[in-house]
Amino acid sequence: MTRPLAVAVAGLGTVGAGVLALLRENAPLIAARAGRPIAVTAVSARDRAKDRGVPLAGLRWYEDPVALAADPGVDVVVELIGGSEGPARALVEAALRAGKPVVTANKALLAVHGAAIAGLAEARGVPIAFEAAVAGGIPAIKLLREGLAANRIRHVAGILNGTCNYILTTMREHRREFAEALAEAQRLGYAEADPSFDIDGVDAAHKLAILAALAFGRPVDLAAVHVEGIREISALDIALAEELGYRIKLLGIARREEGGISTRVHPCMVPAAAPIARVDGVFNAVVAEGDFVGRIVIEGRGAGARPTASAVVADLIDLARGRHTPVWGAANGALDTTPAVPMERHVGAYYLRLMVVDRPGVIADVTGVLRDLQISLESMLQRGRAPGEAVPVVLVTHDTEEAAMREALRRIAALDAVLEKPVLIRIEPL
């Protein structure tokens, strides 16, 4: 019988426990597909006494996760600790230096240190697999790095954070404000006590940086990603978006443009008929477009023990079979050096919502600013009259350069009739 692939798992939280459970529950199926059994032989976690719902008897236990890399009875190291620094980074680097393949779900580590890690993996001739780092159980990494390897990718975009998608869905379906929807997400366990990593777009930015590197065959570049979150989205904006035929989603978008590659994470208005507009709740989705294959849309659960464990074990099966590719799809020396396009050069349509005093001349002042900056309007929406009171006014522009729109926003916000900070949301046709 072929010797089992011996695996060490660092981090026995939700995902780590899920990996152990999956390897046990589906052991015959996994062995058949891997060509050999896959067995966890060593683990590391902070609390040895904690009940994780899976048996740990017979497994070697390490207080220091980095020590897993030196265990001669370990073939592959699975890093599920998380975080871009500390023991997670130390373990991954130690394992690669020891010549041991690594499987990780750590998007922060790859987004921040992916270039250095890829260089180390290539120098040591050791694979690193990370399907679980983006979109949970959705095979987004395989889609870009393997399934579409023959295509020149035009763009990749997606709903990459289930917490934000749940909040925006709840706001739309139940007409709730942001704070109320966030509190419900926290109560249900979809959002952390400190939700800033999710709602400020950081988590989605890490994932987009990884997808962009794979899609365009270039080194990972988190610093180039423009990032905005969903804190300023209101129930009013979601209702007005529906009236205009849109839904609001937090998207990560990477696009090949004239002069380079743009990468951005921010709330978007997408047409209500678009497939990605109908992806609700905690689900994720990824849209990719290649020159030969056209458009592909995949969706599913982007987090949780079972979907993420599914992705981790899929990577283990590949390693057991000897299947692997360079970290970013090509050797470091063959990666593309196309520059990043700054956000100021983005061109697209915009939704601008103002709260203004209802009095003569206000709209003329606003449109005068747009005229001076050569920003053309597609439509304007105003509901009701309340002389002397605050009323919402919505302006939708034709395609405009970001730099001009930002200057318009600054000038409009300074008008005395504008009572609140203007809300700007980009419109994405997708």
pLDDT (tens digit, 9 = 90+) per residue, 179-229? 999 999 999 989 888 999 999 999 999 999 999 999 999 999 999 999 999
Q: Give me the half-sphere count of Cα atoms (radius 13 Å) on the Cβ side of residue 11.
A: 25
Q: Would you name the residues annotated as active-site residues?
A: 207
Compare 137 and 388 and report the one with higher pLDDT: 137
* pLDDT for the residue numbered 224: 97
- The whole-angstrom separation of Cα 369 and Cα 201 is 30
In the structure encoding, which two tokens stand for residue 209, read together?
């940086």
In the structure encoding, which two tokens stand for residue 136, read together?
């949970």
Mean residue pLDDT of the chain comes to 94
In this structure, the answer to whether residues 98 and 156 fall within a common structural domain is: no
Mean pLDDT of 384-403: 88
Helix, strand or coil for residue 84? coil
The string of pLDDT tens digits covering residues 245-255 is 999 999 999 99
Helices (H), 71-177: 86-97, 107-124, 140-142, 162-174
In the structure encoding, which two tokens stand for residue 82, read together?
């998380």
- The whole-angstrom separation of Cα 176 and Cα 406 is 29
Position 384 confidence tier, pLDDT thresholds 50, 70, 90: low
- The whole-angstrom separation of Cα 143 and Cα 325 is 13
Query: Which sign does the torsion angle of CA 61, 89, 110, 304 carry?
Result: positive
Domain containing 287 equals 142-301
Helices (H), 4-85: 14-25, 27-34
In this structure, the answer to whether residues 153 and 208 fall within a common structural domain is: yes
Taking alpha carbons only, the member of 229, 218, 202, 188 closest to residue 327 is: 218
Mean pLDDT of 374-387: 85
In this structure, the answer to whether residues 291 and 403 fall within a common structural domain is: no
Mean pLDDT of 344-353: 96
Return the CATH number at 14.
3.40.50.720
In this structure, the answer to whether residues 68 and 191 fall within a common structural domain is: no
* pLDDT for the residue numbered 415: 95
In this structure, the answer to whether residues 265 and 388 fall within a common structural domain is: no
CB 54 within 8 A of CB 77: no
Position 1 confidence tier, pLDDT thresholds 50, 70, 90: very low
Domain boundary among 133, 160, 194: 133
* pLDDT for the residue numbered 48: 79
Compare 324 and 55 and report the one with higher pLDDT: 324
CB 47 within 8 A of CB 63: no
| Residue 32 domain-assigned (yes or no) | yes
pLDDT over threshold 90, residue 386: no
The string of pLDDT tens digits covering residues 253-283 is 999 998 999 999 999 999 999 999 999 999 9
In this structure, the answer to whether residues 85 and 172 fall within a common structural domain is: no
In this structure, the answer to whether residues 127 and 155 fall within a common structural domain is: no
Domain boundary among 76, 102, 133: 133
pLDDT over threshold 90, residue 151: yes
In this structure, the answer to whether residues 264 and 166 fall within a common structural domain is: yes
Helices (H), 235-304: 235-243
